[in-house]
Amino acid sequence: MVCEPDEPDLDIGIPAVMLPQHAGTSLIQFLGNSSSVSVQLYSPKRPTVDVAEVFLWLMAVATILCASYWSAWRAREAAIEQDKLFKDGSNECNGTEVSRSGVVLEISIISAVLFVVVASCFLIMLYKLMSSWFIEVLVVLFSIGGVEGLQTCLIALLSCFRWFERFGESFIKIPFLGPVSYLTLAISPFCIVFAVLWAVYRHISFAWIGQDILGIALIITVLQIVQVPNLKVGTVLLSCALLYDLFWVFLSKPLFHKSVMIVVARGDKSGEDGIPMLLKIPRMFDPWGGYSIIGFGDIILPGLLVAFSLRYDWLCNKKLREGYFLWAMFAYGLGLLTTYVALNLMDGHGQPALLYIVPFTLGTFLTVGKQRGDLKHLWTRGEPDRPCPHVRLQPE
């Protein structure tokens, strides 16, 4: 019965229970056209920790780990290239930086604040327009992003091998697209077919594997393109994201009579098992079935801060134990683990993951930085000072 313990006794003539959508479908198929069927109902207790949540935790941590190392490697290569240009005298040292390899978008404080406004508007649009046709639009957008992410990751992975490296450096000019490498031409059809097959067969039982592959590739690609320049911007971004998560999970109930975030994540009124912008694994030992899920934002937003910590460590030539990455990575894993513990303690009711991840990650970073005396440098500049090699101090 869906009744709170402190509610008054209700005179209910017909007993009622809540079932997941897939369980109700299975029950209808089981009953068929039988006119008289005796069904015994039981209320199994949800297991404290499911294997799916362990695998989901490993997926989220491994995704941030891979994205952080890739981002730090690109930053170090760009710094080495910049130093070479300065030493060769091919660029003036006037405080400007040489453009880094690849497209990099650094978040500012204004864009971090605007994130809450834009994300809130998008969430309301999802809530109001949630239907089968709107889910189809989201599937198309997710597939396009997944193709781009999967292509970027595969090209970067194959370029590590010498045999594929020359194909990545050989280009052909294509109308409307410009120069495109032969490796990109070979990889793109596979990525497109993979995304199309997932979109067409996303309702089958193991389609979550394709969704997770596309989602992880998209998350890693986003963490290469979008970066936080210093700890101040990271603090503003995560603080705004925490308020956004709290409001739309808990405080939106009085205004909309439902938790907007949970309704959108479940994909209510759409006939789908949730929106595609999340990672999910089917619960293995839960008698109610369903999926353990985590949204992209719960990985990308803290991942920006974790990736920043490793870039800073590598540019400062800090060892793993002396740097901040190990602390940030441990804090994220512990915060996500606390989220799943709270989720099970609250009997499966949706919890905002950033409520636990942000205090762990951001609090650990600020505390360790203050103890080591690097907080001011992390807060403002976010990278080590590199003096220009052309400058020579002359005696007075």
Q: How many C-beta neighbours within 10 Å does residue 135 have?
A: 21
- The answer to whether residue 313 is catalytic is no
**Which DSSP category does 240 fall into?**
H
Crossing angle between the packed helical segments 354-372 and 231-246, to the nearest 10 degrees: 160
Which member of 245, 273, 286, 313 is catalytic?
245
Residue whose structure tokens are 């839960």: 286
Q: How many C-beta neighbours within 10 Å does residue 86 have?
A: 18
Counting beta carbons within 10 angstroms of the beta carbon of residue 209, is it exposed (0 to 12), middle (13 to 18) or buried (19 or more)?
A: exposed
3-state secondary structure of 87: helix
What one-letter code names the amino acid at 51? V
What one-letter code names the amino acid at 329? M
Which residues in 231-263 are b (16+ Cβ under 10 Å) and which e?
A: bbbbbbbbbbbbebbebbbbebeeeeeebbbbb
C-alpha–C-alpha distance, residues 82 and 93, integer Å? 10
Which member of 212, 273, 298, 313 is catalytic?
298
**Parallel, antiparallel, or unpaired: how do β-strands 226-227 and 291-295 relate?**
unpaired
- The answer to whether residue 6 is catalytic is no
What positions carry a catalytic annotation?
245, 298
